[in-house]
Amino acid sequence: MNENDKQIVGEKAAEFVKDGMVVGLGTGSTVLYTIKRLGQLVQEGLNIKGIPTSIQTEKLAKEVGIQLVNFSKIEQIDIAIDGADEINPNFELIKGGGGALLREKIIAKAAKTFIVVADPTKMVERLGKFRLPVEVIPFGMEMTMKHIKAIGLSPELRLNGATPFITDNGNYIFDCSIPNHIQTEIIERELNLIPGVVENGLFVGMTDLVITLDKNGDVEILSK
């Protein structure tokens, strides 16, 4: 993980944002560079409205001068840009390392174009080395954990020190190892059928473009 790589891919993504667009602003240390670059472009006259995927990103967007818009007041997001924890060759993602997966998925789904910015360490042949984050309601979480185990995953409650990590939505996260014999779409669907599961960090069939670096360190823009 190289900070310079993150900066290169993060800043590249800002080139896809055009005047007048409504922009979904992702969360994490890579898309941070996109947001900072967009802030510079706004100072130079770019007119955009942002919708943040987390309280952390909302704060950053305000700091760099990006105007925010109320999600309930817009029809569509033109473009959403976000990081990922893992990306496989089918452009399927694991997200939620920062705990923002629910709002990130809502915004990615609402976007006409969803761009992922990722340093090359995020590109994997098979998803699952990074444990899959699953957002759950605190009520009855022991029971929810049992149901998740029953479909073959191994959940662990994410902690923040000695207490559970709490998402922007007031929920908990289970980080789950996933068996590699079950297809991602099946895991995604089965998880979301469990009462108590709010959303999971598998993003299947959502990504339009991936901005990363090739073996020589040059920017590579991958599309399906």
- Kindly list the residues in this chain that would bind ligand 5RP in the complex (CB under 6 A): 26-30, 82-85, 95-101, 104
Evaluated on CA atoms 66, 72, 76, 81, the torsion sign reads: positive
Shortest distance in whole angstroms from residue 153 CB to ligand 5RP: 18
Question: In one letter, which amino acid is 45?
Answer: G
| 104 classed as catalytic | yes
Q: Which lies closer to ligand 5RP via its Cβ, residue 38 or residue 147?
A: 38
Whether 83 has a binding-site annotation, put simply, is yes
Least distance between ligand 5RP and beta carbon 84 (Å): 6
Annotated ligand binding at 54? The verdict is no
| DSSP category for residue 32 | H
Strand order, beta sheet including 132-136? 154-157, 172-177, 132-136, 197-200
Q: Which of 104, 135, 190, 199 is catalytic?
A: 104
Q: Is 182 helix (H, G, I), strand (E, B) or coil?
A: coil
Identify which of 176, 153, 173 has the alpha carbon closest to the alpha carbon of residue 164.
173
**Closest separation between CB of residue 104 and ligand 5RP, Å?**
6
First to last CA, the chain: 25
Whichever of 47 and 160 has its CB closer to ligand 5RP, that residue is 160
Residues of the binding site for substrate: 27-30, 82-85, 95-98, 122
Residues annotated as catalytic are 104
